[in-house]
Structure 1
């Protein structure tokens, strides 16, 4: 911001400054403006961002890397201070994208949870009991939401999502 602009703002009436604040808030919260920045960002990307903690009238920029992308904010890790900053997208300036720099790969999708259709009476299965001890047994009955398992003479009712098939090798 130029010194002339700052001086003009100092001379302005409080009502005019408040009106200017309302207009700027509307402009900064415009979804198109947010999407413009967000579409250029990915996790791990080097960026520059506005240091809102700076007490000077000058625009203070810091550099960091994107840690997380949220709905209206991004979390950026400051390179110098090693601190995370939660910033609105409009306060972030995406850096040039290096060809060698790429986003962290998303974690692989977990396999689907087993359902009732995955098991039949007579199947050999394993599960962890309430004390986290592994148990191996045979399904004796299939109910609507649980299976009855015979493990060493004990009967257990276990949800299908906790069961794992045991394969003989």
Structure 2
């Protein structure tokens, strides 16, 4: 499903239309067949990925309890217990990133809490920080111990080219000419 196209279409809808659509989606998700189709694939103690809409990111958790309409999970990162909808559990490993096509910057749906991003401040200094909160029009970033609020349009992804910190092995390519190779 192409979420970028869906978001483009939704941007043309009225607030009332969006509200009606949300009500319809909620009604469909509350149908027992949707919940049962997820429940049959779950066991207490199982590790699962679930989508956290506040952080706009996948989280890792362990199932503690299966209730009629929701599951109780303990988040593996912070050990907090959450009551989540069965629909939030990502059983099929779906990609949760929504990529909006914009001329510059990032969109609200393209970042999550914990992502590292950069921006240029008013004094034209490049700043890099971790997202600690997602707001409606801005993100809260922690940059070198200082908190910043920055509009999404000014954010850019940080690509770390230093692979050594990620536990990869550096190597080099050796080219061998077949005519000169020993037989």
TM-score (norm 2): 0.46
TM-score (norm 1): 0.50
Which one has a bigger Cα radius of gyration?
Answer: 1
